[in-house]
């Protein structure tokens, strides 16, 4: 499973790259708004550091204006994938952009029908938001399972990005289901490497090593 970092923060992106855990990055307007740099300079810098795709979100609401905005985003760097919220206008824009060879990440996906329509429109990625479904008492990961089954049924090669991941279990379940990509916030990425028994084990080894050193 590829790991994308769900952030627009350069320090976090550099840190994940050092760990060898950076297959791509996903941003959204909320994440970008937390950073101090101007939008285009920030995206350019992220794209320079990240070896894989960097999702950049469109905020226009009509197909024509989404296409225009997406083309501008795509000009920033070769590895930009444009993020488009699923809706009728977004589907129309996705068809045009995918035919032009611009990669689209269809975002804010909360149902299997939305994912299937986006795939048929030619999107490269769909992003089901699991945490936000859990927030309203739905099983977010059930959606991922349904989407994977449907894409498999029809041999669709749209990649599934499990998004709105809130904790390590989302990540592990995504991998067990065979999701293509998990996009994780930096705080979750750090948790993925941790285990209390590992910490206890390290502490014990260090204590015993002190005894060896004294001999």
Residues labelled catalytic: 83
The reply on whether position 163 binds ligand G3P by CB under 6 A is: yes
Interface residue with ligand G3P, options 13, 16, 24, 28 (CB under 6 A): 28
The reply on whether position 2 binds ligand G3P by CB under 6 A is: no
Question: Closest separation between CB of residue 26 and ligand G3P, Å?
Answer: 5
Q: How far apart are CA 195 and CA 35, in angstroms?
A: 31
195 CB neighbour count, 10 Å cutoff? 10
DSSP H helices in the chain? 10-19, 29-33, 39-49, 63-76, 88-100, 112-121, 130-135, 140-153, 168-177, 186-192, 196-213
10-18, 113-121, 126-134, 147-155 -> range binding ligand G3P (CB under 6 A): 126-134
Record the tokens describing residue 68, joined without a space. 């225009």
96 CB neighbour count, 10 Å cutoff? 18
The reply on whether position 131 binds ligand G3P by CB under 6 A is: yes
Interface residue with ligand G3P, options 44, 71, 95, 132 (CB under 6 A): 132
The reply on whether position 129 binds ligand G3P by CB under 6 A is: yes
Q: What is the DSSP string of 187-211?
A: HHHHHHT--HHHHHHHHHHHHHHHH
5 DSSP 8-state letter = E
The reply on whether position 110 binds ligand G3P by CB under 6 A is: no
97-105, 128-136, 140-148, 151-159 -> range binding ligand G3P (CB under 6 A): 128-136
Interface residue with ligand G3P, options 159, 164, 171, 174 (CB under 6 A): 164
The reply on whether position 171 binds ligand G3P by CB under 6 A is: no
Whole-number Cα distances in Å, 170 to 12, 24, 47: 20, 18, 26
45-53, 87-95, 125-133, 144-152 -> range binding ligand G3P (CB under 6 A): 125-133
The reply on whether position 168 binds ligand G3P by CB under 6 A is: no
The reply on whether position 23 binds ligand G3P by CB under 6 A is: no
Contact 95, 121 (CB under 8 A): yes
The reply on whether position 9 binds ligand G3P by CB under 6 A is: no
Q: How far apart are CA 12 and CA 34, in angstroms?
A: 13
User: Which stretches of the chain bind ligand G3P, using CB under 6 A?
Assistant: 6, 26, 28, 129, 131-132, 163-164, 183
């Amino acid at each position: 499973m590829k790991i994308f970092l769900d952030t627009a923060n350069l320090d976090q992106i550099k840190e994940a790259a050092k760990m060898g855990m950076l297959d791509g990055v996903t941003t959204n307007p909320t994440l970008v708004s937390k950073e101090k740099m101007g939008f285009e300079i920030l995206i350019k810098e992220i794209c320079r550091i990240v070896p894989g795709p960097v999702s950049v979100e469109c905020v226009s609401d009509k197909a024509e204006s989404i296409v225009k905005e997406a083309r501008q985003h795509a000009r920033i760097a070769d590895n930009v994938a444009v993020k488009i919220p699923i809706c009728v206008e977004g589907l129309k824009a996705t068809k045009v952009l995918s035919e032009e060879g611009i990669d689209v990440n269809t975002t804010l996906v909360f149902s299997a029908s939305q994912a299937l329509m986006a795939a048929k429109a030619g999107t490269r990625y769909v992003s089901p938001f699991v945490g936000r479904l859990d927030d309203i008492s739905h099983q977010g990961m059930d959606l991922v399972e349904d989407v994977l089954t449907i894409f498999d049924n029809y041999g669709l090669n749209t990649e599934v990005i499990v998004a709105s991941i809130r904790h390590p279990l989302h990540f592990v379940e995504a991998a067990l289901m065979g999701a293509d990509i998990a996009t994780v916030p930096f705080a979750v990425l750090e948790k993925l490497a941790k285990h209390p028994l590992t910490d206890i084990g390290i502490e014990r080894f260090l204590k015993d090593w002190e005894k060896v050193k004294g001999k």
